[in-house]
Amino acid sequence: MTGDDLTRLTVKDALSLLRLGSVSAADLVTAHVQRIERLDPHVKAFLRFTPELWERQAAEADRLIRQGESRPLLGIPIAVKDVLCVTGVETTAGSQILKGFKPPYTATAVQRLFEAGALMLGVTNCDEFAMGSSTENSSYFPTRNPWDLTRVPGGSSGGSAAAVAAGEAMLALGTDTGGSIRQPAALCGVVGMKPTYGRVSRYGLIAFASSLDQIGPFARCVDDAAITLSLMSGLDPLDATSADRAPMEVLNNFNAGVRGMRLGVPREYYDVKGIEPGVKTAIDAALATFRMQGAEIIDVSLPHTDYGLAAYYIIAPAECSSNLARFDGVKYGLSEVDAPNITDQYLETRRKGFGGEVRRRVMLGTYALSTGYYDAYYLKAQKVRTLIKRDFDAAFKNCDAIVSATSPTVAFPLGAKTKEPLSMYLCDVLTLGGNLAGLPGISVPCGTSGDLPVGLQVLAPQWGENVALRVARAYEEASGVTAQVAGVV
């Protein structure tokens, strides 16, 4: 087996090779590092690498394997989005304002994967503070789609999606506030899952919008995503919004197939404005596959979908305006200490440290929360959020899961949507409802349109990760469409 072969494995296959002793964790790391060295100058998925971690973790993994110990991710190389803190590893949320910041703590989700035996390769690129849908808002550089280097990988977790798609990491972690895992997974042709709000602890996740953010996995198959998610899940005393739910429940019955299931297709999603014909064709084919597997496809409606985007772009900026107030140049990160007074120090630090999209959202959010505007904007948006939750509740009375495209379009060229923020915001129109309602959602590869990957989204009721995984897995198995590792030429 060549080094490159080792970078195309699923976790399940890699674990059996490791157990058999035909490869070591060190071999796996070497294969990935070599591929990264070859491809990442083009893809630019990573912001920085963590050799001190992978060396120590691989040696430890190989020692444990020799002792016959088994752990669910023992020896598996992963990549971590630049918003998840890891002790001693520079973590900057893709922003200049946090340049040089090395947290003295590790995010619970990452810590749990480390305990399961995962090895960290490095930190992946993302839109600054996870605000964006193309990774072009990174303050460092844009990441490229491994399937077509002139196109974006999606975002905000574009680096993580691209790393998995390019064979530069076997698994990656992302965060999803409005679609930031599912949309790049779709555009890069990999599996990406956003869990129910509260399933995975947010401790150590540099917050964008606290009531919407969730951490989730990127993987090359549904099984890998399912296992990884279960390992990150569960109550965390450090996050008051984390739920006391059994981590293994996400795997309940998830390989049972879709026979007899009712899958809802919201007409507002199916015919969403701007959906590309090629995407629609791929989704139609997926629906046909489900029917052949014995699922019933039914029409459902999410009548407040149109208002979702507006509500999202009030709630998320409102929370971000407050969450980002701590970046004031007083305690860490960029600091313009030469300013004549504290107000100027704040202004200059933040003007220099934040990019355009972050400043735009901080201003939007500040405005929406201001006296005199609060009722008309923030409060109204919260009411819309409640209506959207009710839409889903009503829809799930008639179906077990909702299926749709993940993104109305395939990967678009770099620069295509950077001039007009609204066109970029529309990338999340099919995903952000899941965040507003706190629901679990997964995107799985579902063929191509013009040689570019299309993603199928499955949304399930609250705590119904196992349902979403079950539908996604059934599709993967029946269609034979699986995540491929991009050649990158």
Partner 1 sequence: MSSRWEVVIGMEVHVQPRTRSKMFCGCAIGELGDAPNTHVCEVCLGLPGVLPVPNKAAVEACLKTALALGCEIPRHTKFDRKNYMYPDLPKGYQISQYDLPMSINGRLDVGGRQVRIRRVHLEEDTGKLVHAGDKLHKAWESYVDLNRAGVPLMEIVSEPDLRSADDARDYAMELRTLLRTIGASEADMEKGQMRAEPNISIRRQGSEELGVKTELKNINSFRALHRAILFEVERQREVLEAGGKVEQETRGWSEAEQRTFPQRSKEQAEDYRYFPEPDIPPLELDRDWIEMIRGALPEMPSVRRERLIRTHGLPASDVAVIGADRELADLLEGAVATGAPAKQVANWIVGEVAPTGKLPSAQNLAELVTLVGDGTITRDQGREVLLESVETGRTPAEIAAEHGFRQMSDETELRVLAQAVIDANPKAVADYRSGKTQVIGVLIRDLRARARQANPKLANEVLLKLLG
Considering only residues 10, 34, 210, 255, which one is a binding residue for partner 1 as defined by CB under 8 A? Answer: 210
Is residue 322 involved in binding partner 1 (CB under 8 A)? yes
Q: How far is CA 358 from CA 1, 181, 304, 364, in A?
A: 46, 19, 27, 10
200: contact with partner 1 by CB under 8 A: no
Assess 203 for contact with partner 1 (CB under 8 A): yes
Does residue number 381 form part of the binding site for partner 1 (CB under 8 A)?
Answer: no
Length of the chain equals 489
End-to-end CA distance of the chain: 22
Contact between 432 and partner 1 per CB under 8 A: no
6 binds partner 1 (CB under 8 A): no
Q: Is 296 in the site for partner 1 (CB under 8 A)?
A: no
- Residue 118 CB contacts under 8 Å (≥ 6 apart), including other chains: 57, 73, 76, 77, 78, 171
Q: Cα–Cα distance between 135 and 488 in angstroms, integer? A: 18
Whether residue 180 lies in the annotated active site:
yes
Residue 330 interacts with partner 1 (CB under 8 A)? yes
Residue 43 DSSP class: H
Q: Please report whether residue 205 would count as binding partner 1 according to CB under 8 A.
A: yes
Given 346, 387, 389, 478, the residue binding partner 1 (CB under 8 A): 346
- In this chain, which of 45, 193, 207, 414 binds partner 1, going by CB under 8 A? 207
Which candidate in 24, 180, 407, 479 is catalytic?
A: 180
**Sole binder of partner 1 in the list 41, 371, 375, 422 (CB under 8 A):** 371
Nearer to partner 1, 134 or 201 (CB): 201
Q: Classify 192 in phi/psi space as left (phi over 0), alpha (psi -120 to 50) or beta.
A: beta
Q: Is 331 in the site for partner 1 (CB under 8 A)?
A: yes
Nearer to partner 1, 125 or 289 (CB): 125
Contacting residue, 19, 56, 326, 397, with partner 1 by CB under 8 A: 326
Is 363 an interacting residue with respect to partner 1 (CB under 8 A)? no
Please answer whether residues 154 and 125 qualify as being in contact, where contact means their C-beta atoms are separated by less than 8 angstroms: no
Residue 87 touching partner 1 (CB under 8 A): no
Distances (CA, A) of 143 to 209, 350, 405: 23, 24, 23
- State the CB neighbour count (10 A cutoff) for residue 34: 14
Region binding partner 1 by CB under 8 A among candidate stretches 15-23, 200-208, 385-393, 424-432: 200-208
* Residue 98 binds to partner 1 (criterion: CB under 8 A): yes
The yes-or-no answer on residue 81 being catalytic is yes
Closest CB to partner 1 among residues 207, 231: 207
- Total residues contacting partner 1 by CB under 8 A comes to 45
Taking the complex as a whole, how short is the minimal distance between the CB of residue 214 and partner 1, in angstroms?
Answer: 13
Helix H or strand E encompassing 358: helix 356-369
- Distance separating alpha carbons of residues 410 and 406, to the nearest angstrom: 10
Contact between residue 11 and residue 119 where contact means Cβ atoms under 8 Å apart = no
By beta-carbon proximity to partner 1, the closer residue of 125 and 443 is 125
Question: Which range of residues in 30-38, 61-69, 95-103, 473-481 is near partner 1 by CB under 8 A?
Answer: 95-103
Identify residue 258 by its one-letter amino acid code.
V
Q: Is 280 designated active site?
A: no
Stretch of 26-34, 294-302, 324-332, 463-471 contacting partner 1, by CB under 8 A? 324-332
Q: Which of 156, 157, 242, 449 is catalytic?
A: 156
Among the residue ranges 12-20, 38-46, 185-193, 325-333, the one whose residues contact partner 1 (CB under 8 A)? 325-333
- What value, to the nearest 5°, has the Cα angle with vertex 277 and ends 303 and 467? 55
91 contacts partner 1 (rule: CB under 8 A): yes
Write down the least CB distance from residue 204 to partner 1, Å: 5
Contacts of 371 (CB under 8 A, 6+ apart): none
Nearer to partner 1, 74 or 205 (CB): 205
Contacts of 417-425 with CB under 8 Å at 24 or more apart are 417/133, 417/134, 418/134, 418/136, 421/357, 421/360, 424/132, 424/133, 424/134, 425/133, 425/309, 425/313
Query: Residue 382, Cβ neighbours under 10 Å: how many?
Result: 15
Residue by residue, DSSP assigns 361-392 as HHHHHHHHHSTTTTIIIIIHHHHHHHHHHHHH
338 binds partner 1 (CB under 8 A): no
Q: Tell me the residue ranges of DSSP E strands in 296-362.
A: 296-300
Q: Please state the separation of Cα 204 from the chain's center in Å.
A: 16
Residues annotated catalytic, as ranges = 81, 156, 180
Binding site for partner 1 (CB under 8 A): 83-85, 91, 93, 98, 101, 103-105, 107, 202-207, 209-211, 237-241, 318-319, 321-322, 324-328, 330-332, 342, 346, 366, 369-371, 374, 378
